[in-house]
Every structure is written in C-alpha cells, then in structure tokens.
Amino acid sequence: MRHLIALLLAAPAFAQTTVFTDTFDSGPSVLWENQRGDWTASGGVYFAQTPSNSPPTLSTVPFVVGDCDIDVDVVGVIDGGIWVHVDQNAQNGVLLVTGGDNRTGRGLYWHAITNGGYSGSLGRTGPLFNQGDTIHVTIKVRGDIYAAYVNNNPIPATILNTGNYPAGRAGVYDYTAQPQQAFDNFVLTLPPLCDPDVNCDGAVNGFDIEVMEQAVNGDLTNFCQLNPDYNHDGSVNGFDVEAVEQGVNGAPC
C-alpha cells in the first residue's frame, strides 16, 4: 500500500501508531500540503521544483502531533531538512537541517523558529556523511527533547531541548536544485503511551525498575529512553520508579 493513514483509536499501551507513510512510488499523497516550493514526485522520490531558503520551501502533512517519530530517507543529501512541530506556514517550530551550510555541509543542525525569526544553528554536529550521499534520518520528539539519528545509529547525532513548540506538523524542506536532493519513505508515527522497557533489552522485568531508580538518582548509563520523566509529570523522582514498577507488573499506562 503506497499511502497509509491510521485512525488514532485506542491501541495497546506499548504499541506505536502509524499516522502517515508515503513511498512516493506513484506520486505524492494528496495529503501533502505543498505550501511553498511547487513540490512533486518523480522516480519514487519527492522534491521541490523551485527550491529556496528565503522563504524556505515547505510541504507538511496535516496532522498536529506532540510526541512523535519521523523517519525519512534523504536521497542525495546536499541542503534541505525536516520540519518538526511547525505551524502551517512554518512561522513557528523546529527545522532539522541536513547538510546545509549553503550546500557544503556534511552534518546536521537545528533552527528554532519563532514568529518567523530563525535562531542560529543549534546542536551542530561534525561530519556524518558526504554531500550527495543517501542517508536515513530519524527524529524522535519526547516532551521538550528533539533527537536526530542518522542511518539507524542508536545514539543521537544531535539533541535540541526546547519547550516552545509542544505540538505541530511534520514535513520537509528542500534548498537544492542541481544536483537534486529528494525525500523517500516518509513515515510519521506516535510512540507508545508508555514503555516500561526503559533499558531497551527487549524484556520488561525487574531490571527496568533498577534502571529507572538509577536514572532518578542521576545515572542514565543504562536508561535508553529520551526522557527520564517516565510519568510525564514534569519531575524526575520516585513516582517515575513507581510508574515503571506498575508497568512491569502489567498495569496500563
């Protein structure tokens, strides 16, 4: 199936929910909003026919999400990016730049956008790839934390921490005409409501309680999730340990 839109109904507590996916194999989904850049798909990839960064090209999908995961292949990475938690015209939100630096970059960095004004480059990485490579990018948003991963590396390449944009759209940005940069295999998912496997060993057991206790005490060595505030109450404390213990014992979120 080329396009998939999931109804956001009740799901198992530890299951991801797929909101939207597009492989572009027979053109773009009609849900792409194509706000700026005259976007199209050809050869199974999606790109702007009039790429620009002033104003930046923009095509989003019409789902306003909070915590989310975005996966996408960047084909021929040169200068472009991925919009996260943006409003419909990208006047507010976050942009992860792939490559960048006026088509010379080999890494990632973020911009935070407020009322149309852009921050400087934030969380800049060193070289991660070469210009023109095809890379897979994953962005995970949990609360105030935005983490970007390259080529399925389990360690984030860069992290941005901001509470200014609690929810918004996801989309793509393109500032490359020749040679062409494009996007493929775009997937937007919602994470599990909670997942007590906080050490990511594939099992839910007493080791997760132990690791949560360590995280509360400041040791995140074995804690694999982005945010140790497991119960999302704004504090990292014994209540998070209690919540993980309840999950280990089979309680719902």
The 10s digit of each residue's pLDDT in 188-204 is 999 988 899 999 898 99
Among residues 172, 190, 148, which one has the least CA distance to residue 20? Answer: 190
SS3 211: helix
Q: Is the pLDDT of residue 7 over 80?
A: no
One-letter amino acid for residue 214 of the chain:
Q
pTM for this entry: 0.86
33 versus 200: the higher-pLDDT residue is: 33
**CA–CA separation, 104 and 68 (whole Å):** 29
Q: Which CATH number describes the domain made up of 16-190?
A: 2.60.120.560
Comparing 12-26, 71-85, 187-201, 232-246, the range with the smallest average pLDDT is 12-26
3-state helix, strand, coil in the chain (%, to 5): 10, 40, 55
Strands 135-142 and 117-118: unpaired
**CA–CA separation, 34 and 185 (whole Å):** 17
**CA–CA separation, 106 and 139 (whole Å):** 18
Q: Where are the domains of the chain?
A: 16-190, 206-248
Q: Per DSSP, which regions of the chain are E strands?
A: 3-5, 17-22, 39-42, 45-48, 59-65, 68-75, 79-86, 93-99, 107-114, 117-118, 135-142, 145-150, 158-161, 168-174, 182-190
